[in-house]
Amino acid sequence: MNTHAEDWFELRDAWRAYAACRGMDTDLFYPEGRGSTLRAREQIAKNICSSCPVAQQCREASTALPERYGIWGGLTEAERGWSRR
């Protein structure tokens, strides 16, 4: 049986069921590399996010968590204000 807190988390994250990336390898959204290799890998994730009906909710979740790494809602760490140090 779910507790009230578990219900809240399920409702808060219900948007994930509609994500374009659902069921994809999460490594796509945590690209590694440098320079043009990194940018090309980031673009693959961003292309998936560009057609996502819940990209805004994804971006908001990355801020609320806060999620420092990866592509969330089509934004890289730097675009969300995080440094790659």
Helical H runs in the chain?
4-12, 35-50, 55-64
| 3-state SS class at 1 | coil
Would the annotation count 34 as a binding residue? Answer: no
Would the annotation count 10 as a binding residue? Answer: no
pLDDT band at 50 (very low <50, low <70, confident <90, very high): very high
Task: Note the pLDDT tens digit of each residue in 60-85.
Answer: 999 888 888 999 999 999 999 886 54
Q: Is the pTM of this model over 0.75?
A: yes
Match 């998936």 to its residue by tokens.
48
For helices 35-50 and 55-64, give the axis angle rounded to 10 degrees.
120
Task: Note the pLDDT tens digit of each residue in 5-15.
Answer: 555 556 678 99
Would the annotation count 11 as a binding residue? Answer: no
Would the annotation count 49 as a binding residue? Answer: yes
